Amino acid sequence: MGLVLFVLLSALEIILAVKGRGKEKEKKVWLKNRLLVRTAEAAIVLIALLLPYGQKWRLVPLLGFLALLEIIALLKWLGGRRSDNAEKKTGFAASNCVFSILFIGLLLIPAVIFTGYKGLPVSGPHPVAETSVIVIDSSRTDPFEQDGSFREVPVHFYYPADAEERERFPLVVFSHGAFGYYESNTSTYRELVSSGYVVAALDHPHHAFFTQDTAGKTIFVDQGFFQTAVSLNNNAYDDPEKCYPIYREWMDLRTSDMNCMLDTVKAAGVSGKLNDALFLPENNPDTILSVLKMIDMTKIGLMGHSMGGATSVQVGRERNDISAVIDLDGTMLGELLGVENGNYVVNKEPYTIPLLEFANWEQYNDRKEYLLLGYAYPNEVLLSCGKECFYVTVRDTLHMDFTDLPLLSPTLGNILGSGERANAETMTIVNGLVRDFFNYTLKDEDTFSAQGIY
């Protein structure tokens, strides 16, 4: 849609410029033609907005820009009608054309980059509702803030909209990856909720691409964290002595976020009361209480992508109220215990709860090399000593294929790491396995099986 609009609008601008350089050079004729072109452009974008497709917000800035240009063109045309029929300045038509096309292209970037993705089909009968809360951790100051303010953890709940008063559902907590955000796996949340779960997707402020605090301020990813993460990703494990303290700092922050959220939500669910640790940006106390009441606090699963997967694995090891964990293509940084003789020390204690590990196709094929070199990759160590672990890969996938990003924006997906496999197909496989694994571990279904390679 974005590319089609760019071609149409650019063609109109070029036609206007060509006519302006021909016989009709008089100023008021040019103004009339420009008014007609602006009206036609605004009409085209308005028609596009009325068409049945998703992500219409992408065209709103462009429509506003064209409407402004149309008003200016109308005012100048009305003024030009009362003036002498002077000639336009030479080159004005061409420069106006170039400026307009460049600005239209700039405003159409979201429409070109983002698709009309509306989500994937779900298998369950429950409709999905959403609400949010911000958990305030008064035991910690935020290390990224300079004013000594407490750490805040936004929590976005997805839950069955048709829940009966006494129905109880297992809780699944999701943690996003570095520079991710809470909606990174919306299709997974919706599949789970449709099948009878409550999902709590966390934002980790300053690790998330963006989020909001209790003051309504937008918090973007911290530049220092961004640069360090990119640098370490490009030179992974080159210097354990340097990397380990950074990994430990990241894991401490994120696991504390998840632990605080779990403790606060469980306490409020048991008491049936909201306290000062819960800030309601939507002013929705009744909704939040109803969501908390529908959670079965004895059935909790954790899940995350990339660094969020590492967070989930570590919290699952440390707490005794977690029933299952899923790691979506994350290196288990929490399993690194230190450095000795220039090498990482990896935790070899048995992992006692069920774990489902997803690895991208490239990572899967690197396993043989790791094993031949005797490299103590933490995921391999945990899988070898886990009580009940399942390992899955999907052919022709890369890191971001285990999120919805390539569905929302193939351009960004390719930049950050998306393979040749159709992402809708990959996420359908992933979401089905996630659902079945949690059905087995949180709903006590008899069996769960995974074929290893899909």
Closest CA to 303 of 437, 208, 416: 437
Least confident residue range of 12-21, 201-210, 225-234: 12-21
| Helix, coil or strand: residue 312 | helix
pLDDT (0 to 100) of residue 24: 46
CATH code: domain 128-442 is: 3.40.50.1820
Strand partners, 304: 175, 327
pLDDT at 208 over 60: yes
Q: Kind and range of the H or E element at 140? A: strand 128-141
Q: Letter for the amino acid at 204?
A: H
Residue in the structure block whose two tokens are 């059905």: 439
Calculate the average pLDDT of the chain. 86
Q: 161 in the Ramachandran plot: left (φ > 0), alpha (ψ -120 to 50) or beta?
A: alpha
The C-alpha atoms of residue 176 and residue 308 are separated, in whole angstroms, by 5
For the ranges 2-11, 205-214, 254-263, which has the lowest average pLDDT? 2-11
> How high is the pLDDT of residue 376?
74
Instruction: Name the band, by pLDDT with cuts 50, 70 and 90, for residue 277.
Output: very high
- Closest C-alpha among 99, 97, 90 to residue 17: 97
pLDDT at 32 over 70: yes
Which of 52-56, 103-107, 289-293, 327-331 has the least mean pLDDT? 52-56
Looking at per-residue confidence, does 240 or 308 come out higher?
A: 308
Question: pLDDT tens digits for 126-144?
Answer: 999 999 999 999 999 999 9
- Residue 415 has a pLDDT of 81
Work out the average pLDDT over 62-89. Answer: 65
Separation CA 308–CA 314 (nearest Å): 10
The ranges assigned to domains in the chain are 2-113, 128-442
Per-residue DSSP letters for 60-128? HHHHHHHHHHHHHHHHHHHHHHTS--PBPPTTHHHHHHHHHHHHHHHHTHHHHHS--------SSS--E
Q: Which position has the higher pLDDT, 74 or 378?
A: 378
